[in-house]
Amino acid sequence: MDLSILILSYNTEETTLRCLRELDTLASLNPDVRTEVIVVDNASSDGSVESLQRFVPAHYPMRLILNTDNVGFSKGNNIALAQASGTYILYLNSDVMVFNTARPLKWSTLLSCFDHDTSLGALTVRVDLAEGSMDPACHRGFPTPWRSFTYFVGLEQIAARLPLKQKRIQKWLGGYHMLHEDVRQEHFVEAGTAAFLLCRADVLRKLGGFDEQFFMYGEDLDLCRRMYDVGRKIWWTPTFTVTHLKYQSGLNARDAKTKRRIRWHFYDAMLTFYAKHYARVYCPCINILTQTVLRIMRWRFRT
Same domain assignment for residues 238 and 152: no
Angle among Cα 291, 297, 301 to the nearest 5 degrees reads: 140
CATH, residue 19 = 3.90.550.10
The reply to whether 250 falls in a domain is no
Partners of 140 in the β-ladder: 191
pLDDT in tens, 107-135: 999 999 999 999 999 999 999 999 999 99
Residue 259: the pLDDT is 83
Number of domains in the chain: 3
pLDDT in tens, 283-298: 999 999 999 999 999 9
Tell me the three state secondary structure of residue 114. helix
The reply to whether 236 falls in a domain is yes
pLDDT in tens, 2-27: 999 999 999 999 999 999 999 999 99
Same domain assignment for residues 227 and 114: yes
Angle among Cα 91, 96, 100 to the nearest 5 degrees reads: 110
SS (H, E, C) 245-298: CCCCCCCCCCCHHHHHHHHHHHHHHHHHHHHHHCCCCCCHHHHHHHHHHHHHHH
**Quick one: what percent of the chain has pLDDT higher than 70?**
97
For residue 230, pLDDT over 60 is answered with yes
pLDDT in tens, 74-90: 999 999 999 999 999 99
Last residue of a domain, one of 154, 180, 206: 180
For residue 193, pLDDT over 80 is answered with yes
Last residue of a domain, one of 127, 160, 180: 180
Integer Cα distance of 217 and 244 in angstroms: 16
The reply to whether 278 falls in a domain is yes
Last residue of a domain, one of 200, 216, 244: 244
Residue 18: the pLDDT is 96
Integer Cα distance of 99 and 223 in angstroms: 26
Please, which pLDDT band fits residue 248 given cuts at 50, 70 and 90? low
Same domain assignment for residues 168 and 201: no
Same domain assignment for residues 19 and 44: yes
Residue 251: the pLDDT is 43
For residue 250, pLDDT over 50 is answered with no
Same domain assignment for residues 59 and 110: yes
Please, which pLDDT band fits residue 247 given cuts at 50, 70 and 90? low
The reply to whether 221 falls in a domain is yes
What's the chain's average pLDDT? 94
* 284 Cβ neighbours under 8 A, 6+ residues apart: none
The reply to whether 114 falls in a domain is yes
Residue 258: the pLDDT is 81
Please, which pLDDT band fits residue 64 given cuts at 50, 70 and 90? very high
Interval 169-186 mean pLDDT: 95
For residue 196, pLDDT over 50 is answered with yes
Same domain assignment for residues 50 and 148: no
Residue 63: the pLDDT is 98
In contact, 47 and 14? CB cutoff 8 Å: no
Same domain assignment for residues 228 and 100: yes
Domain span at residue 70 reads 3-139+182-244
The reply to whether 251 falls in a domain is no
The reply to whether 249 falls in a domain is no
Same domain assignment for residues 196 and 163: no
Residue 254: the pLDDT is 54
Interval 40-67 mean pLDDT: 97
Same domain assignment for residues 287 and 175: no
Same domain assignment for residues 118 and 147: no
The reply to whether 228 falls in a domain is yes
Same domain assignment for residues 145 and 126: no
Same domain assignment for residues 158 and 280: no
pTM: 0.94
For residue 186, pLDDT over 50 is answered with yes
